[in-house]
């Protein structure tokens, strides 16, 4: 079980530090931009779009492919000053949860947030 009240750093397939969670809810890119938030085990954009799930230290997509991981062997860079997250909007219902594939998504890393969090 992941302790969401602690600082969580998320990494790409190549071990690149991509995002972090440090308030138990808001997900920030390493540059400080708030891009998503958690409700239970689901990741949402601030427009209310369901993006992915967080389970056992992995964020995985609607196909069951891994997008980000809490685990890396690389060194961790310093974070930028974070922005204030926007207000949450009405959220859509998540789709049926897929069977995990345990392979990396084509949307791994910062690409995941940059392509899927636009309003």
**Does 17 map to a domain?**
yes
What's the confidence (pLDDT) of residue 97? Answer: 85
**Does 16 map to a domain?**
yes
Structure tokens, 52:
């992915």
**Does 60 map to a domain?**
yes
Query: What is the chain's pLDDT, residue by residue, as a tens digit (119 residues)?
Result: 456 556 788 888 888 888 888 788 889 988 888 889 999 889 998 888 898 898 888 888 888 998 888 876 555 555 666 667 777 777 788 888 888 888 888 776 777 777 655 44
The number of domains in the chain is 1
**Does 87 map to a domain?**
yes
**Does 18 map to a domain?**
yes
DSSP state of 104: B
Q: In sequence order, what E strands does 1-119 have?
A: 8-11, 17-21, 26-29, 34-39, 42-44, 50-55, 58-60, 66-69
What's the angle, vertex CA 80, arms to CA 74 and CA 82, rounded to 5?
120
Helices (H), 1-119: 110-116
**Does 117 map to a domain?**
no
Say if residues 62 and 26 touch (Cβ distance below 8 Å).
no
What's the confidence (pLDDT) of residue 42? Answer: 92
Structural domain boundaries enclosing 21 = 8-110
Calculate the dihedral angle through the C-alpha atoms of 9, 109, 118, 7, rounding to the nearest 10 degrees: 0
**Does 78 map to a domain?**
yes
**Does 116 map to a domain?**
no
């Amino acid at each position: 079980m992941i302790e969401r009240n602690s600082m969580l750093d998320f990494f790409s397939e190549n071990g690149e530090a991509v995002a972090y969670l440090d308030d138990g809810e808001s997900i920030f890119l390493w540059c400080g931009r708030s891009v998503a938030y958690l409700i239970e085990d689901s990741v949402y954009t601030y427009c209310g779009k369901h993006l992915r799930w967080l389970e056992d230290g992995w964020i995985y997509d609607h196909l069951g492919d891994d997008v980000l991981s809490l685990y890396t062997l690389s060194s961790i860079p310093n974070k930028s000053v974070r922005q204030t997250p926007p207000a949450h909007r009405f959220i859509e219902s998540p789709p049926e949860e897929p069977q995990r594939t345990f392979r990396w998504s084509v949307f791994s890393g910062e690409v995941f947030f940059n392509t899927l969090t636009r309003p």
